[in-house]
Structure 1
Amino acid sequence: MITRSARARYEGMGKTGKGWVSTQSGVLQDQRYGFNTRFENEPGTNPEELIAAAHAGCFTMALSFRLAGAGVENGTLETEARVKLEQDGAGFKVTRSDLRLTASVPGVDEGKLRQLAEEAKANCPISKLLNAEMTLEVEVR
């Protein structure tokens, strides 16, 4: 079907190493990452941030298609995904992705919006990929 790719390069090892990540589309081109960007909040990106962006984007698009399928033509959806990285023995594990949706969808009652949002959360491809707990909070405006 569709294959997308990204590249990562890491020079040096461990905490002193430095990495760069690029995407096939070129949207990310040699973006810096490493121990300091992952664990110490220095400028640059990290795998968990990229997973959060992918999950937020995937879920929001999936919900927009579910709403379109229900005949909805207008509205605004905004999602924040918070991906949690925790210690797992000697390593680390992504344990959860918490989605927070803020939606303004005129003409759709809150119950229907919540139902469609839960379906989107369960069925977007990134949700299916993640082996982590997922939550969804919905705010209707």
Structure 2
Amino acid sequence: MSIVKSGSATYKPLGKKGKGSISTETGALSSHPYGFNTRFEDGKGSNPEELIGAAHASCFTMALSLALADAGYEDGELKTTAKISLDKTDDGFKISQSALSLSATVEGISEDEFAKIAQEAKANCPVSKLLDTKITLEFDLSA
């Protein structure tokens, strides 16, 4: 059985002058603006890359949290940023990388054990598996 979640987008008129809105079924975003100017210029609103970044950061962080709890660690805090790189290629645009940057506090864990669990979470969270791109992970672990 699949868990199905949805997001939606509208855009008009067509092309660079168009404007759109993004919504999620939960209402986390409701008619939030996006367009060419928010993606490639300094316009106010959102863009697909930051939404992918939020999705990847949240998926990885939850996967890591659950893996740490499964390993017996219950006290800590995880903060992740995902920087999504969009590059122009000969074939158009491509998302070339998701760079995860993690700040973590986990009581009683060694850096080696943390690194192993974090790398497994990076490789196995569903959004990492979805992305067909290079995924990097840097972390700062404090006790």
Q: Distance in 1 between matches of 2:91 and 2:19?
A: 22
Give 1:51's aligned residue.
52
> Secondary structure in 2 aligned to 1:63?
helix
- The answer to whether 1:97 aligns with 2:101 is no
Q: Distance in 2 between matches of 1:109 and 1:92?
A: 40
For structure 1, which runs of at least 5 residues remain unmatched after alignment?
Answer: none
TM-score by length of 2: 0.96
Q: Distance in 2 between matches of 1:88 and 1:125?
A: 26
> RMSD of the alignment, in Å?
0.7
- The answer to whether 1:63 aligns with 2:67 is no
Post-superposition CA distance 1:62-114 (Å, at most 9, x none): 00000000011110000010000000225201010000010000101111111
Residue range with higher mean Cα deviation, 70-79 or 84-93: 84-93
Matched AA of 2:66 = F
Matched AA of 2:83 = R
Q: Distance in 2 between matches of 1:9 and 1:42?
A: 17
Give 2:5's aligned residue.
4
- The answer to whether 1:80 aligns with 2:120 is no
Q: CA deviation at 1:7?
A: 0.7
- The answer to whether 1:136 aligns with 2:137 is yes
Matched AA of 2:28 = V
Q: Distance in 2 between matches of 1:126 and 1:42?
A: 27
Matched AA of 2:84 = V
List 4+ stretches of structure 1 deviating above 3 A.
Answer: none
Q: Distance in 1 between matches of 2:4 and 2:91?
A: 33
Percent same amino acid among aligned pairs? Answer: 52
Q: Distance in 1 between matches of 2:108 and 2:91?
A: 51
Matched AA of 2:10 = R
